[in-house]
Chains A and B, each alone.
Chain A
Amino acid sequence: MAPTRREFLKIAGVSAIGLVLPPLPSLTGAQAGMPAAGVVSPAVPKPLPALTAKRWAMTVEPRKCRPGCTDCITACHLEHNVPDFGNPKDDVHWISLERVEHIFPAEAHPRLPESITKLPVPALCNHCENPPCVRVCPTQATFKRADGIVMMDYHRCIGCRFCMAACPYGSRSMNYRDPRPFIRKINPAFPTRTKGVVEKCNFCEERLARGILPACVIACKDKALAFGDLEDPRSDVRLILDKGLSLRRRPDLGTGPQVYYIL
C-alpha cells in the first residue's frame, strides 16, 4: 500500500538526517598533534625555546626616547607587514606616537612643563586584563590567551568593527582596502592581512614562540620599552615597576591595561 503523506515525510526526514550525520565527525578535522620539544624541520636551524609567562606586560619610559625617533614603529610595521596607505582615513597602525595630553587626559593639565608635554608617547594595544573588545566580538575572532595576550584570529574576523568601537584606546585598525599593494617591504616570515578584517598589536606572540622579544623592544636603541612577565619578580618589567610611580591609560574604565607608563 502506498505510504501516506505523513509517513513519507517521516521517512524522508530520517533519511535526510542519516545522510548528514556520518560525515560530521570528520568535519571537526581532529588532527592536532601533540606539541613536541625539539621542533625539527629540514631547512630550519634548531630554534630557541619559546618564551612563556603567566602574565605578559610592557613598560614604556617616554623620557628615554630620543627626539624624532620612530624605530619602534618602523620595526613593528616592517616585521608584521603593516600597510602604509598614505592617508589618515585608511590608516592602519599597530603602534604610534602620541602626545601626553591625549594619552593621559585625566592627568594632563595646562601647567605641565614642556619637558613632559613634548614627550612622544608610544601607544599600542594594552592587552587588557578585562578587554572590552573580547567581550563584544560576535565570533570570538579576538580572544584573550591564558598568558594575557589579546589575540586576533584573522581567519574568523567578519570585519564588523564592534571591537574598534569597544576599544577605549584607539588601538585597532580596520583594513578598509586590500593592504598588499601598500606594504613597503614584505616580510615573508609573517603573513599579511586581507581587506575587511581588523588588526592590532599582538605583543609579537609569534616571536615569543621562537624565543625572542617583541620587535619594538629590540629595536629601541634607548631601551625605553621593556617587556616581561608580571608574575616573575625578577623580570625587566617588575624591576622597572618596583622603582616608583607608573601610570596606565584610563584606569577608571576597569579594562586593566598591561602597558605601564613611567613619565
Chain B
Amino acid sequence: MKLYNGGKIIAGIVVFLIVATFPFWYGRGKAVSLPDLKLDTPAIQRLKEKLCVEPAPFMRSNHMKLLGAWREGAVREGIRSYTAADGRVFQVSLTGTCLECHSNKKQFCDRCHDYTGAKPACWNCHIIPEEVR
C-alpha cells in the first residue's frame, strides 16, 4: 500500500507529537514546589479556635461555591448573614470576613491560585485591605 504525501504526513505527525508533549519535556527537571500557605496573620493568631467559616478541607474544595452562594444571597436576596454547619454566624463579605482573617492574600490566596493558574476576577471589584491601607 502506497503512502501518498508521505513526507508531509510524517512531518505533520512529528510536529504534533512535539507540540502535544510540550508540557512534559519543557518543564522536565524544573519541579515547582507545592504552594506554601501562610496562616500566621495577626487576626488568625488572635483566634482562640483556629477555624475558618467551614472546615479547611471543605473550604479547599468548595470555597468558590460558597462564595458564589454568598454572592447570590447577599446581592440578590439581601441575605447578609451565614450560619455555618457548626452553628457559628458570619457576615457575608469577601473583604469583611474572609480577608479579615486571611489578610495576607499574597502569601495565602495567591499561592494556590498562581500554582493552578486560576485568575479570579473578584479582585477587580472587591477590595484587598492590605493594598488600600
Contacts and interface: CB of A to CB of B under 8 A. Distances in A.
A–B touch (CB < 8 A): the answer is yes
- Chain B, interface size: which category? 35 or more
B73 to A, nearest CB: 5
Given A29-B68, A31-B69, A38-B89, A43 B100 contact: yes
Contact of A191 (B47, B82, B97, B125): B125
B65 A32 contact: no
Interface in B67-88: 68-69, 71-73, 75-84, 88
A32 B81 CA distance: 9
Contact of B82 (A30, A33, A190): A33
A38 B78 CA distance: 16
A111 interface: no
A194 B80 contact: no
Interface string A191-231: 11110000000000100010000000000000000000000
A213 B88 CA distance: 28
Most buried by B among A31, A40, A193: A31
Contact of B65 (A26, A43, A145): A26
A157 to B, nearest CB: 11
Interface string B102-133: 00000000000000000001001111010011
A35 interface: yes
Contacts of B101: 42
A39 interface: yes
Interface in B87-101: 88-91, 95-97, 100-101
Contact of A30 (B69, B84, B125): B69
- Which 6 residue pairs across A and B have the least CB separation, nearest first? A194-B124, A33-B83, A29-B65, A31-B69, A191-B125, A33-B82
Given A31-B69, A33-B89, A50-B80, 5 more contacts: A33-B82, A39-B80, A41-B97, A192-B125, A194-B124
10 contacts: A26-B65, A32-B72, A33-B89, A41-B89, A41-B96, A42-B46, A155-B71, A186-B127, A192-B127, A193-B125
